[in-house]
Amino acid sequence: MTENILPRHQFEVSPENSHYSKKIVRSARIKETLIKSYFAAAGTAALIFIILIFIFLFKEGINAFNNIGLSDFIYGTRTMEDGTVKTVYEWYPTSENARYSLLPLLLGTLLTAIPATLISTVLGVAAGIYLSEIAHPKAKEFLKPVLELFAAIPTVVLGFIMLVIGATFFQDLLHPANRLNAFVASVGLTLVIIPVIASLTEDALRSIPMDLRNAAYGLGATKWQTISKVILPAAFSGVSASIILGFGRAIGETMIVLMASGNAANFTMEIFRSARTMTATIAAEMGEVSQGSDHYYALFFIGVVLFVITFFLNLIAEMIISKMRKKNTF
């Protein structure tokens, strides 16, 4: 409403000065317009960078198709010693007979991200319920920042802890097939995702109107009945959005999986075996690959795949959240 209202009368103090004051008004107007356009330009920064990220990933990634076919990113062939040709799902980008199947990497990503999301859902939603419904308001004021501190731990620190302590702990406890394996990495990942899920769950629960709780109590429901039968179902969409966002984070996390998963490009579903994720592949191989090679472009293509997956996960979560906001404001 208030945009562009220049208090013209202010400058028109006396009629003798009117010629002069008009000039001032005009220059002030120009200045305001310039300032506004500066801010408008800055305002689009996030949008521009999202577009630039997509363009520049795509620009390099598309070159992968110069020499590698789309089917090569799914499967390859290999001549066995007995002369038979076998279809294989392998990531051997530097071999003479290079194979670029992304399936083992995709499988590795899921093998670390899914267990991590499952564990984090239990713990993260519980933490969200605790903060929003159970904790004393005074305690909450102190405990919520604790969760933020959790989120503040750099991932390289978590990777380091899993590498030097976590791996040995689980080796002695579970005797896994590989010391560094998908499970160790996913435990590390949970530490990253729990704060994400917890804080968004807390937001979702808090946005449920107080009336709903009071109505439930009025009907004689206990606290737990209220939480489990009324609040959680009402906040279902918000909680599921938090889980989707958490899953997106798990897929995109690099340092923990690079340090703790062992990075074997196994084509396997066994969680106690070493796995290699898409992110770790880029991180480990990008630094030393020669620019302009097929391998280089293939790594950018993995980046495109990662970007697209996380972009859509974020978009879905955001659509759920904005729908929820509309619903809750009745």
Partner 1 sequence: MKNRFLRPLYFAVVVLTFSVVFTACKKKQEADKAVISVKGSDTMVNLAQKWAEEYMKANPGVSIQVTGGGSGTGIAALLNGTTDVATSSRELKEKEIKLAKEKNVGYETHKVALDGIAVVVHPSCKIDSLTLEQVRDIFSGKIKDFAALGGDKTEISLYGRENSSGTYEFFKEHVLGKDTKGNPVEYASSTQVLQGTAALAEAVAKDPKGIAYGGVGYFAHRSDVKILKIKKDAKTPGVWPAHDGKVIYENIWEGSYSISRGLFMFNLAKGNKAVDDFMKYIESPEGQEVVKQMEYIPLPASK
Partner 2 sequence: MELGKKHKDINGFIFINLVRLMFAFLVGLLLLIIGIIAVNGYPVMSLDFLISSPANNMTEGGIGPAIFGTIAVTFFMVLLAVPLGVSAAIFLSEYAKESIYTKIIRTSINNLAGVPSIVFGLFGLGFFVLFIGKNLDEVLQTGLLFGQPALLWAAATLAVLVLPIVIVSTLEALNSVPKSHRDAAIGLGATKWQTIRDIVFPQAKPGILTGTILAISRGVGETAPILFLGCAFFLPNLPVADLCIGDYCIPMINPTEQFMYLAYHIFILSTQSANPTKTLPLQYGSTLVLILLTILLNITAIIFRYRFRKALGRN
13 binds, among partner 1, partner 2, none (CB under 5 to 8 A by kind): none
Given the complex with partner 1, which of 121 and 274 has the nearer CB atom? 274
173 contact choice in partner 2, partner 1, none (CB below 5 to 8 Å, kind-dependent): none
C-beta of 96: minimal distance to partner 1 in Å?
6
How far are the Cα atoms of 197, 221, 260, 327 from residue 230, in angstroms, in the given order? 20, 10, 40, 15
Scan residues 135-174 and list those touching partner 1 (CB under 8 A): 167-168, 171
Calpha distance 209→37 (Å, rounded)? 40
Give the bridge partners for 91, in sequence order.
Answer: 100
Name which of residues 229 to 258 contact partner 1 (CB under 8 A): 258
The partner in contact with residue 167, picked from partner 1, partner 2, none with C-beta cut-offs of 5 to 8 angstroms by kind, is partner 1
Quote the least distance from Cβ 181 to partner 1, whole Å.
Answer: 9
From the CB of 264, what's the least distance to partner 1, in Å? Answer: 4
Rank residues 75 and 267 by Cβ distance to partner 1 and give the closer one: 267
- At residue 57, the 3 state secondary structure works out as helix
The entry of partner 2, partner 1, none that residue 96 binds, CB within 5 to 8 Å by partner kind:
partner 1
Question: What is the closest distance, in whole angstroms, from the C-beta atom of residue 302 to partner 1 in the complex?
Answer: 14
Please choose which of partner 1, partner 2, none residue 213 contacts, taking the beta carbon within 5 to 8 angstroms, the exact cut-off set by kind. Answer: none
- Residue closer to partner 2 (CB basis): 98 or 300: 300
Q: Which is nearer to partner 1, 91 or 247 (CB)?
A: 91
| Residues 90/99, Cβ–Cβ less than 8 Å | yes
Residues 241, 103: Cα–Cα separation, whole Å = 27
Closest separation in Å from C-beta 299 to partner 1 = 11
State the nearest-atom distance from the C-beta of 284 to partner 2, in Å. Answer: 9
The site partner of 140 among partner 2, partner 1, none (C-beta below 5 to 8 Å per kind) is none
Contact flag: residue 276 with partner 1 (CB under 8 A): yes
Answer for which of 33, 79, 228, 322 binds partner 1 (CB under 8 A) is 79
Nearer to partner 1, 42 or 53 (CB): 42
The per-residue DSSP string of 241-260 comes to HHHHHHHHHHHH--HHHHHH
Angle at 192 between CA 172 and CA 44, to 5 degrees: 160
Q: Does residue 86 contact residue 78 with C-beta atoms inside 8 Å?
A: yes
Q: Which of 76, 159, 195, 262 binds partner 1 (CB under 8 A)?
A: 262
Among 186, 199, 226, 266, binds partner 1 (CB under 8 A): 266
290 binds partner 1 per the rule CB under 8 A: yes
- Which amino acid does the sequence have at 50? I
Q: Which of 3, 96 has the CB closer to partner 2?
A: 3
Q: Where are the beta strands (DSSP E) in the chain?
A: 76-79, 85-88, 91-92, 99-100
Number of Cβ within a 10 Å radius of residue 62: 13
From residue 233, alpha-carbon distances to 227, 281, 294, 319, 330 in Å are: 9, 40, 50, 18, 17
| Residues touching partner 1, count (CB under 8 A) | 35
Phi, psi angles (nearest 5°) of residue 214 = -60, -40
- Residue 265 near residue 108 (C-beta atoms within 8 A): yes
Chain centre to alpha carbon of residue 141: 26
- Distance of alpha carbon 192 from alpha carbon 247, whole angstroms: 11
Can you tell me the distance from the alpha carbon of 250 to that of 72, in angstroms, rounded to the nearest whole number?
Answer: 26
Interface with partner 1 by CB under 8 A: which residues? 79, 81, 83, 90-97, 104, 167-168, 171, 177-180, 258, 262-267, 273-274, 276, 284-285, 287-290
